[in-house]
Each structure stands twice: as structure tokens, then as C-alpha cells.
């Protein structure tokens, strides 16, 4: 079977990671995989890709909407001779659906964010409403996200969660007295709430640190908030993790402070690795993963005091830490890679018939 995957870039990100897992898995199943990106011609993938994957960078960055770009994309799709096309992220999805107009192969589009909070232009939102009915399938990651789409799309939507990698090999057995979070430094992650919340934690536990892994546009603003709270030593911005998942070895407790999510990959990874976790009850994902007090703690979204109280509670209650850590892994079995990848494989095989 020939499968063509399309995405904007293969830099660090949740969608990119899932796409790399799918591509590598399908190559092992002897599928022929073409991976098209809009990135510049010499761009490399942050994630490991099997050498058998045909990675083609179309060099369309900054020019993805022009007729020439649509022609190049259409030509590349035709040349790849796909039995099925799989496109990731709304901006890319609408371009693929437009470029493939009239072509005979099935197209699956995958949205990876909360459709009501996704950072896309009004034009892209309008084009999504226009073109998504022409997709053969629309894939979202949670039931909560599916419910946010228009009624006329519901029959075409399948819910497939992200395949979660098990990074338990990175878990430290000894206490580090560090809380860790990971994700793009973006307004959606609400680090501007987490930082002052952690300042409240240090008032009671001055020997604890918060490590923030990730890069993004909010770095300068977040560093200023940290400095304004006198957290220069207590909060450390670690940048990009040298290897996916390696950030886990740097902390005892994981916290997700997001305002919204599509599917919280890092939360799922932390839980599958057996970390005690705290998360806001934001849409979409955490409430489907965490039963409050059993396999994690849920806090109110954008509530600084609620977040601080949860961190203090978990720091002070070692028994609860152990209870949550013991419960997280079994509760995440349905998200394990082999189970989710089997769902994806069944889907593409059914679409290619």
C-alpha cells in the first residue's frame, strides 16, 4: 500500500511526533511511505525517520497559498501515487483538500487541537468549514473535541487518540525536589498562571524548583514574569529536550497548566511513564485521562491558587504521590503505541480498499 503523509514541517511538535510514529510503523509493515512537507528543501526532521521513508520538502514556506504552491502540491500528490492521503493540521488540511480536488484517492484529514481555540486565521476557519465535507474522514483525538464540530461533519469524524510513547526508562528513582512541565512556550499552555502559582509553592517549600522544557514565542514575557516574582533560581527555562521524553528524568512531579489542548501528549507520556501528575481540567483531553485523586489531580483552569494548592498537596503527601504513580500506567493502556497504531492501520487499510 502507498500512503502519502502531508504536514507543514517536521520540527518538534505533537502532530509531527505522531506522524513520525505512524510513518515508521507503516514502513515496518512494508507500506510505501511518502512524506510531503512545506518546509525548505534542506530541512531535517526533529524526529527519527526510517531511511525507507521518502521525505520530500516542497520548499513552500511563506508561499503556501499561491496558485504555484497549490500546483506543486497537487503534482507531488499525483506523483506519489497514493492509495490514501493523510494530512495533519488545519492549515495543511485545507490546502491538501483544495490541491487534490477531482483526484481519485481518499483523503483523511487530522485536526490536532481544540477547534474552538485553535490558533488559525478566520480565512482558514472558513476554508475548513468549506472543504472538510469533501474529506473522506476527519480524525480528532478526543470525544470532547468531536462534540465541538458542526453537526454535518459528525458522521465523518473518527476519534483516535495519539499513540503515546513509553519513556519510563528516563524516570528517576531518587527524589529531585523538582516539578517539571514540557510544551511550547505559548499562551495556550498558561505558563503565565503556572509561574505565580509556583511562587506560592516556594513560600512553603523553598527547596523545590520548577523546570519548564520547551521553546516558543512567549519566552521573553514568561522570563519577565518569573523575574518579577523573584523566581530566577527557583524556575529554570530548559529549552528543547535533547531527546523526546528525556525531560522526564529531571523531575518528580509533572504539571500541565494549559488553557486548552487538542490532546495533551506530554501529560499522557508522563502518566504512561508512571509520574505523579497534576493537570488543569481544560478542554480537550485531561478529563478523559485523569480521575481526580486516583491517577492524578485536576485543578480549575486558569486558577492560580487551585494550581498552587495541588502542587503543595502532592509535594507534602508522599503517599498520594505513590498512589497516583502506581495508578497512572494501568489507566493509560488504551493510549499505548501498539493499540493506537493498530487503529490507524485498520483505518487506512479500510480506506484504501
Query: How do beta strands 107-110 and 84-88 pair?
Result: parallel
> What pLDDT does residue 322 have?
94
The half-sphere exposure of 93 on its side-chain side, counting CA atoms within 13 A, is: 29
* Beta carbons within 8 Å of 140's beta carbon, 6+ residues apart: 110, 111, 146, 149, 157, 158, 159
Burial of 158 (0-12, 13-18, 19+ CB in 10 A): middle
CA dihedral (314, 332, 22, 90) positive or negative = negative
C-alpha cell, 304: 492560580
> What pLDDT does residue 64 have?
66
Strand partners, 158: 139
The residue with cell 506519489 is 80
10-residue mean pLDDT profile of the chain (353 residues): values are: 96 88 95 96 92 94 80 96 96 94 96 80 84 95 90 92 88 86 95 98 98 96 98 96 90 96 91 96 93 97 98 97 94 90 95 82
Third-level CATH fold of 2-162+336-352? Rossmann fold (3.40.50)
* Beta carbons within 8 Å of 114's beta carbon, 6+ residues apart: 145, 148, 260, 261, 262, 283, 284
| pTM (predicted TM-score) | 0.80
3-state secondary structure of 182: strand
Q: Which of 190, 246, 251 is nearest to 218 (CA)?
A: 190
Strand partners, 84: 3
- Output b/e per residue, 231-268; b: 16+ Cβ within 10 A: beebbbbbebbeebbebbebbbbbbbbbbbbbbbbbbb
List every span in the chain annotated with CATH 3.40.50.2000: 2-162+336-352, 168-334
Q: Which of 85, 166, 145, 155 is nearest to 339 (CA)?
A: 166
CATH 2.30.42.10 fits 168-334, yes or no: no
CA angle 149, 105, 53 (to 5 degrees): 95
C-alpha cell, 80: 506519489
> What pLDDT does residue 162 have?
87
Amino acid at each position: 500500500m502507498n500512503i502519502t503523509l502531508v504536514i507543514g514541517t517536521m520540527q518538534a511538535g505533537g502532530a509531527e511526533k505522531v506522524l513520525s510514529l505512524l510513518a515508521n510503523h507503516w514502513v515496518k509493515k512494508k507500506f510505501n511511505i511518502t512524506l510531503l512537507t512545506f518546509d525548505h528543501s534542506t530541512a531535517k526532521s526533529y524526529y527519527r525517520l526510517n531511511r525507507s521513508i521518502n521525505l520530500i520538502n516542497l520548499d513552500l514556506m511563506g508561499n503556501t497559498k499561491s496558485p504555484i504552491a497549490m500546483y506543486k502540491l497537487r503534482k507531488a500528490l499525483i506523483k506519489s501515487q497514493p492509495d490514501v492521503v493523510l494530512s495533519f493540521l488545519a492549515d495543511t488540511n485545507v490546502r491538501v483538500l483544495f490541491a487534490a480536488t477531482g483526484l481519485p484517492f481518499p483523503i483523511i484529514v487530522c485536526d490536532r487541537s481544540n477547534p474552538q481555540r485553535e490558533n488559525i486565521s478566520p480565512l482558514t476557519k472558513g476554508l475548513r468549514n468549506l472543504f472538510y465535507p469533501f474529506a473522506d474522514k476527519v480524525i480528532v483525538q478526543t470525544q470532547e473535541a468531536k462534540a465541538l464540530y458542526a453537526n454535518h461533519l459528525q458522521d465523518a469524524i473518527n476519534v483516535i487518540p495519539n499513540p503515546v510513547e513509553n519513556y519510563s526508562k528516563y524516570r528517576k528513582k531518587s527524589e529531585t525536589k523538582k516539578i517539571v512541565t514540557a510544551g511550547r512556550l505559548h499562551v495556550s499552555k498558561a505558563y503565565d498562571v503556572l509561574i505565580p502559582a509556583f511562587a506560592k509553592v516556594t513560600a512553603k517549600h523553598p527547596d523545590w524548583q520548577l523546570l519548564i522544557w520547551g521553546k516558543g514565542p512567549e519566552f521573553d514575557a514568561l522570563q519577565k514574569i518569573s523575574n518579577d516574582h523573584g523566581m530566577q533560581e527557583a524556575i529554570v527555562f530548559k529549552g528543547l529536550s535533547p531527546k523526546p521524553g528525556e525531560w522526564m528524568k529531571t523531575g518528580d512531579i509533572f504539571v500541565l497548566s494549559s488553557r486548552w489542548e487538542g490532546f495533551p501528549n506530554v501529560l499522557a507520556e508522563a502518566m504512561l511513564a508512571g509520574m505523579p501528575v497534576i493537570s488543569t481540567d481544560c478542554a480537550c483531553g485531561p478529563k478523559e485521562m485523569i480521575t481526580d485523586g486516583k491517577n492524578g489531580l485536576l485543578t480549575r483552569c486558569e486558577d492560580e491558587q487551585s494550581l498552587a494548592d495541588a502542587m503543595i498537596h502532592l509535594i507534602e503527601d508522599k503517599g498520594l504521590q505513590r498512589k497516583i504513580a502506581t495508578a497512572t500506567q494501568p489507566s493509560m493502556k488504551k493510549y499505548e503505541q501498539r493499540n493506537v497504531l493498530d487503529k490507524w492501520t485498520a483505518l487506512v487499510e479500510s480506506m484504501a480498499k
